[in-house]
């Protein structure tokens, strides 16, 4: 074929020119050539618009993901505060348990003294 070496859009334009040369009526062939060239130009513009639309869509998706990430970060921070409070509760429970043990020891000593010396009078 005559246009084998051409690639991409140049190849398409070359094919249009060949088609136009083959057409029998000169005025119709020029109109067909112009129409095809306009269609190709329009396709290029549409391709740019689609590409820009895709970029805009990705930007919106990134924005949504950022908001979701922020929400998840707040949940994680809330969980860490709960863990801290739970840890404090455990420490208080341990302290109360130790105080109960100490109180039981004091009560045992008081009972021992009462048994040894009798009950105190007020």
pLDDT tens digits, residue range 75-90? Answer: 888 888 787 888 888 8
Domain count, the chain: 1
Range of the domain at 103: 8-114
End-to-end Cα spacing for the chain: 125
Is 1 part of any domain? no
Q: What is the pLDDT of residues 49-69, one digit of tens each?
A: 888 888 888 888 888 889 998
Is 12 part of any domain? yes
Q: Say how many CA atoms lie within 13 Å of 48 toward its Cβ.
A: 5
Is 120 part of any domain? no
Is 94 part of any domain? yes
Is 24 part of any domain? yes
Is 121 part of any domain? no
0.85 surpassed by pTM: no
């Amino acid at each position: 074929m005559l246009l084998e070496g051409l690639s991409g859009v140049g190849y398409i334009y070359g094919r249009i020119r060949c088609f136009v040369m083959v057409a029998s009526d000169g005025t119709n062939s020029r109109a067909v050539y112009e129409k095809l060239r306009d269609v190709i130009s329009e396709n290029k513009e549409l391709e740019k618009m689609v590409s820009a639309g895709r970029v805009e869509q990705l930007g919106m998706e990134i924005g949504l993901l950022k908001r979701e990430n922020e929400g998840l970060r707040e949940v994680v921070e809330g969980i860490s505060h709960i863990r801290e409070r739970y840890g404090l509760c455990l420490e208080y429970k341990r302290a109360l348990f130790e105080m109960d043990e100490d109180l039981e020891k004091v009560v045992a000593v008081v009972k021992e003294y009462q048994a040894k010396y009798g009950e105190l009078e007020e």
